[in-house]
Chains A and B, each alone.
Chain A
Amino acid sequence: MNFLTIVFYLFAAILLFAAFRVITTRNPIQAALFLVLAFFSAAGLWLTLEAEFLAIALVMVYVGAVMVLFLFVVMMLDINLDRLREGFWSYLPLAGFVATMLAIEMALVLGSRSFGLSIVPAPVAHAANYSNTRELGLLLYTEYVYPFELAAVVLLVAIVAAIALTMRRRKHTKHQDPSQQVKVKRDQRLRVINMPSERASSTNISGE
């Protein structure tokens, strides 16, 4: 058992534990944090496969952005877990059936020789100057440029749709236009009144 194997089992154990706790913990915040831990361990596993770009992208996108926003929302909601758990036992047989089917399918695919997976060798260790990021970029922007751009457009459409669905203009919002605020001149806000200077009364000067 070399060092890499130990690292693999360590990350795999943490990943499984975290994933299990995501669905068993009673506190939604803790569940979200365990999901973060699961993402992080998965990124660690990808690193051991020399997929450092994907690993870092996983941490950046899911841990750094998606889960922060998710936590943001979960924190503000008062989720009553007991109500969510009401139908637990009645749904259990169906869920168990789906889970078993999934496990069987995965076992068939991963174990079968018909998919040629058994002849896929373990990743070869590359030289120190081999850049995974560069290779991925070259592939994405040359060979797979159309699927890649298409995926980007699909995402864009989803963003536009989400905004269009949720944006509503309320009538009486207090809206500020910063460019107008910047353009304001002194005369519009301030009126300088010319007044003749008054002479102080003699009692004040003498200090009495």
Chain B
Amino acid sequence: MTYFQGLFGMAWPAIWVLVKIVVIVAPLMVAVAYLTYAERKVIGYMQVRIGPNRVGYKGLLQPIADAVKLLMKEIIVPSGANKFLFVLAPVLTIAPALAAWAVIPFSPELVLANVDAGLLYILAITSMGVYGVVVAGWASNSKYAFLGSLRSAAQIVSYEIAMGFALVGVLMAAHSLNLVHIVNAQLGGVFRWYWLPLFPMFIVYLISGLAETNRAPFDVAEGESEIVAGFHVEYSGMAFAIFFLAEYANMILIATLTSLLFLGGWDPLFDVAPFTWLPGIFWLLGKIGFVLFLFLWFRATFPRYRYDQIMRLGWKVFIPVTLVWLLLVGAVMQTPFAFLIH
């Protein structure tokens, strides 16, 4: 490392950060590719069919084939579209989806930027994602895309509030906004993780996460039976692929955050011998995988919500639930029972 430091001199810190970014983003892209494969396989088996099985062994090369296909396709810009914004929209979608990973810790040491306001940073960055959808819908100059983007904007803004309140519960319990501190406050086995004392918030966060990423059963933004494909109906080729990438990267991000904030991050299931042999990062990956499986399971199980029901759930159910639980957590923290929340 000192050799490289000498080689690049002043530019070394910047290059070192770039290397770290590549080390985080490259596996993320592979994970996104194979999440699409896992989704098709899992839903396939749930619907008693096999799923992709032609390209490669058991269809394992299918995501690569899909990516190559999308790369070769032409990007068509609709007539009457605002060309600059039309091209900018996928960029606006993917940038926050990747930027949020900067503060995600994978183990106590393995984190790109261990900042104190990490949780706030994530809230701020993920709230930028909606611009991509809104701009895509407007710039496409198509009524289906426009309707999709309107639906998506209203939905994301509504569910962000409940999501933010759920996160406030976590930071109250952990006394910190730093993600590493939040995980460290939960160490000590499954019963010390925050899913137990903050159970309603855990549920609200998980469901709001689904709504934020426009996943089924909250996928009215792209409801194919009503508005074709919503905001990205006019996109083709790589521009469409970028929307796709961002959606799945966001899904993995939400799953990771759920694991870190409510499921103890890299903490083993029980703090005894056979469980502690496995390194922490595998525990984290296992939890992420579990939450992602839940997402796929939901998609295969629930029918799509009607739009007014989505709004009702967000505003009239989730926000009151989180508010009441916030008050309760605050009150308990002032009593001798504060150890329950630690």
Contacts and interface: CB of A to CB of B under 8 A. Distances in A.
Bound pair (A, B): yes
B218 interface: no
Contacts of A132: 116-117
B120 A56 contact: yes
A19 interface: no
A133 B154 contact: no
Chain A interface secondary structure, helix, strand, loop or mixed? helix
Nearest to B14: A3
Most buried by B among A68, A133, A176: A68
Given A68-B153, A71-B153, A75-B134, A63 B127 contact: yes
A30 interface: yes
A14 B313 CA distance: 40
Interface residues of A, number: 26
Contacts of A75: 134, 138, 146, 149-150
Given A68-B130, A178-B312, A30 B153 contact: no
Given A56-B124, A68-B157, A33 B116 contact: no
B85 A30 contact: yes
B127 A72 contact: no
B124 A65 contact: no
Contacts of A29: 82, 85, 138
Interface in A18-57: 27, 29-30, 33, 36, 52-53, 56-57
Given A64-B127, A68-B153, A53 B117 contact: yes
A59 B312 CA distance: 27
A57 B153 CA distance: 20
A129 B116 CA distance: 8
A66 to B, nearest CB: 10
Interface in A72-99: 72, 75-76
Nearest to A53: B117
B297 interface: no
Contacts of B123: 56, 60, 64
Contact of B160 (A36, A65, A72): A65
A53 to B, nearest CB: 6
A87 to B, nearest CB: 28
Nearest to B13: A3
A60 B120 contact: yes
B120 to A, nearest CB: 4
A27 B135 CA distance: 13
Interface residues of B, number: 29
B146 A59 contact: no
A68 B131 contact: yes
Contact of A56 (B121, B130, B135): B121
A131 interface: yes
B177 interface: yes
Contacts of A53: 117, 120
Contacts of B131: 33, 36, 68, 71
A155 to B, nearest CB: 15
Contact of A65 (B82, B125, B127): B127
A104 interface: no
A33 B160 CA distance: 20
A56 B138 contact: no
A134 to B, nearest CB: 8
Most buried by B among A57, A131, A133: A133
B164 to A, nearest CB: 8
A178 B134 CA distance: 30
A56 B117 contact: yes
B117 A133 contact: yes
Nearest to B154: A72
Given A131-B116, A133-B116, A133-B117, A72 B153 contact: yes
Interface in B100-152: 115-117, 120-121, 123-125, 127-128, 130-131, 134-135, 138, 146, 149-150
Interface of B: 82, 85, 115-117, 120-121, 123-125, 127-128, 130-131, 134-135, 138, 146, 149-150, 153-154, 156-157, 160, 177, 308-309, 312
22 contacts: A27-B82, A29-B82, A29-B138, A33-B131, A52-B116, A56-B120, A56-B123, A59-B127, A60-B120, A60-B123, A60-B127, A64-B123, A64-B127, A64-B128, A65-B160, A71-B131, A71-B134, A72-B150, A72-B154, A75-B138, A131-B116, A176-B308
